[in-house]
Structures are given as structure tokens and as C-alpha cells.
């Protein structure tokens, strides 16, 4: 990838299966590290779709003519979330995220399929009169800096969520953006911890590592409770 593509700045597309936990295939097949090591390579676009429609649109975007830059698209194994997935192709502006839900007090920044857990968590949190905002980053590189400026200008409590390693991943990229732009906020990163995670059903491993729906809800409530005690 570095020698044959990125040094030459070639417009090669990489589609990465088994993003995040690979389930019963075990630790040799978990896609835990690509977000972290891809985003440090020059001439590389790093993306992850939240659902089938986004996957189709990212693949459509990637095959359009462009001058240079490799384009990586990661997606998990397992079941999808859309029954009517044959949606019209739409070009996605590279490096642009989207807002899924307006909110207050706290913002959740997710990337990839795991963002669907945030959607479910937000529904349950609203029943408790907690209204987090939810943003789907779509790109780990380039980051949507316009979106991030708006987030940090509006929120002092932020949770990042990724089905990749927390060391050097998207959460780390958000912390780098915060430091580089002199923002101050409380940030909690959810993702795959710095240890070898053994095999198991994907939902079991998400729960074990604390970023299933219940884990996201706990993180939101923990941050808000900590604030209420100040």
C-alpha cells in the first residue's frame, strides 16, 4: 500500500471486509487496526459507511475519476440494517460527515456501522429525557473539520465511537483536532481496547468491550452524572 500506491499517489480503491470484530473467526481476523494505521499514511482517504446506502454511495464515489489518493472503505461481516438497500447512487463529498440527530448537553461522534448502536441508544436515552446529538463522521481521513468546529463550539462533553482500536484511531484523531485548535472539552473514547480480544459473537464482543447499546448509554449517563456533581 505504501510502496506501490501511496508514494506514487495512485487512485487505487481498497474495500476492506471484516471491519471491527470478526466474531467467531477470532483475534487473527478482527479488523481492529486499519483506521489507526491507514490515517497516518499520506495520500490516503479513509472511510467507513454506517449502512448499506452509505456503502453503495462510498463505492460509487470511489470509482469516479479523481487525481491521486488511495480510497479505503471498511465494512463489517454479518447482517445489514436496511431491507430496501437498492437506493440510487449519490456522490459523497470526500471528507464530509453528516448529522444524524440534533441534541443538547452531549455529542456522540461515530464512524461506520457501529453508529447504528448510537441510533438505538439515543431512542432509549430520549425516554429518560436525555437528548444527545449524534454525528456520523463517515471519514477518518480527511476529517470534516467544519463539522468538528461546530461540535466543539456547541458541546463540552463528547463521546467518540469506533469499532477499531482506541489507540491512534478516530477518537485519537478527534483529540488531535481539539488540541490543534485550542478547544477544551471532556472527551470519552469508546472502541476496541489495547488487548487481544478473543473470539465470540460480534454482539458479545461489543458488550464485553463496552460499546454496545447499553455501553453507549452508560457512557452518556456517566458523563452527565459527573457534570451534575460539579
pLDDT over 60 (residue 151) = yes
Return the domain boundaries, the chain.
2-74, 98-228
Instruction: Render pLDDT for 97-130 as a digit per residue (tens, 0 to 9).
Output: 999 999 999 999 999 999 999 999 999 999 999 9
Least confident of 2-6, 21-25, 44-48: 21-25
Average pLDDT over residues 30-51: 97
pLDDT category at 67 given cuts 50, 70, 90 is very high
pLDDT over 80 (residue 227) = no
**CB proximity list for 122: less than 8 A, separation 6 or greater:** 101, 103, 108, 132, 134
Per-residue pLDDT, 228: 58
Contact yes or no for 13/74 (Cβ under 8 A): no
Residue in 62, 67, 85 with CA at minimum distance from that of residue 16:
62
* pTM, rounded to two decimals: 0.96
pLDDT category at 229 given cuts 50, 70, 90 is low
Inter-CA distances, 91 with 9, 56, 59, 61, 95, Å: 22, 10, 9, 5, 12
Per-residue pLDDT, 189: 98
Query: What kind of architecture, by CATH, is found in domain 2-74?
Result: 3-Layer(aba) Sandwich (3.40)
Query: What kind of architecture, by CATH, is found in domain 98-228?
Result: 3-Layer(aba) Sandwich (3.40)
Per-residue pLDDT, 24: 84
Residue 38: phi and psi, rounded to 5, are -70, -35
Instruction: Render pLDDT for 134-148 as a digit per residue (tens, 0 to 9).
Output: 999 999 999 999 999
Distance CA 186, CA 223 (A): 8
- Assess whether the region 2-74 and the region 98-228 belong to the same CATH fold: yes
Per-residue pLDDT, 201: 94
pLDDT over 70 (residue 230) = no
In the predicted model, what is the mean pLDDT of the chain?
96
Amino acid at each position: 500500500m505504501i510502496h506501490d500506491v501511496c508514494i506514487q499517489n495512485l487512485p487505487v480503491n481498497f474495500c476492506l471486509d471484516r471491519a471491527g470484530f470478526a466474531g467467531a473467526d477470532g483475534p487473527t481476523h478482527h479488523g481492529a487496526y486499519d483506521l489507526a494505521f491507514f490515517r497516518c499514511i499520506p495520500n490516503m482517504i479513509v472511510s467507513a459507511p454506517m449502512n448499506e446506502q452509505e456503502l453503495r454511495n462510498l463505492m460509487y464515489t470511489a470509482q469516479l475519476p479523481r487525481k491521486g489518493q488511495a480510497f479505503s472503505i471498511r465494512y463489517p461481516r454479518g447482517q445489514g440494517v436496511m431491507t430496501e438497500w437498492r437506493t440510487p447512487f449519490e456522490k459523497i463529498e470526500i471528507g464530509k460527515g453528516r448529522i444524524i440527530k440534533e441534541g443538547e448537553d452531549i455529542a456522540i461522534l461515530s464512524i461506520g456501522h457501529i453508529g447504528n448502536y448510537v441510533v438505538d441508544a439515543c431512542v432509549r436515552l430520549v425516554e429518560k429525557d436525555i437528548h444527545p446529538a449524534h454525528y456520523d463522521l463517515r471519514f477518518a481521513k480527511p476529517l470534516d473539520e467544519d463539522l468538528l468546529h461546530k461540535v466543539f463550539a456547541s458541546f463540552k462533553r463528547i463521546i467518540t465511537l469506533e469499532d477499531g482500536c482506541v489507540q491512534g484511531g478516530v477518537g485519537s484523531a478527534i483529540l488531535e483536532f481539539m488540541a490543534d485548535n485550542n478547544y477544551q472539552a471532556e472527551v470519552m473514547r469508546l472502541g476496541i481496547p489495547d488487548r487481544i480480544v478473543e473470539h465470540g459473537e460480534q454482539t458479545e464482543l461489543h458488550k464485553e468491550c463496552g460499546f454496545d447499546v447499553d455501553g453507549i448509554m452508560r457512557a452518556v449517563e456517566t458523563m452527565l452524572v459527573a457534570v451534575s456533581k460539579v
